[in-house]
Amino acid sequence: MVNNCYRGGVKCNIAFYHGKKFSKEKEEILRNTDIFILPTYNECFPLVLLEAMQQKLPCISTNEGGISDIILPGETGYIIKKKSPQELADKIEFLLNNPNKRIDMGKKGFERYKQLFTLKAFEQHFVSILNIAISRQ
């Protein structure tokens, strides 16, 4: 996660690895973050990306498991190749240098979260699938 800080009145950016966090502590960290980064090698469907989108954060992650179903590249964040530190650094730098794009991606990610990934959206989708299955019998 990359956070803004101010030293001597000058804005600077600092990246932190916070390790595993839960509940209110995690929510607090996400609220004070500008970009969420998950350069994973083995996640199936990381819910933490949805939690970041819920906080209107653009996400950068690798193309692993169901991540491409969560992040829309160039719209809600970026999907990078695994083991590509230069590509990761380039995407982080781009978002830090383009706050309007970063904010826009965060808003679009939040809208995507609300549309597809809330409990209500899941229930509606599940009922729809069940109705299709029942109608085919």
What is the CATH number for 80?
Answer: 3.40.50.2000
Strands 59-62 and 36-38, by their bridges, are: parallel
- pLDDT at residue 8, rounded to an integer: 54
Is a pLDDT exceeding 70 seen at residue 6? no
CB atoms within 10 A of CB 33: 18
CB atoms within 10 A of CB 50: 17
Domain ranges, residue 27: 2-135
Is a pLDDT exceeding 80 seen at residue 45? yes
Across 110-115, average pLDDT = 98
Inter-residue contact 74 to 57 (CB < 8 Å): no
Cα of 27 vs its chain's centroid, Å: 13
Residue 122 in 3-state DSSP?
Answer: helix
**Measured distance CA(122)–CA(76) in Å, rounded:** 20
Q: What's the total number of domains in the chain?
A: 1
Residue 67 in 3-state DSSP?
Answer: helix
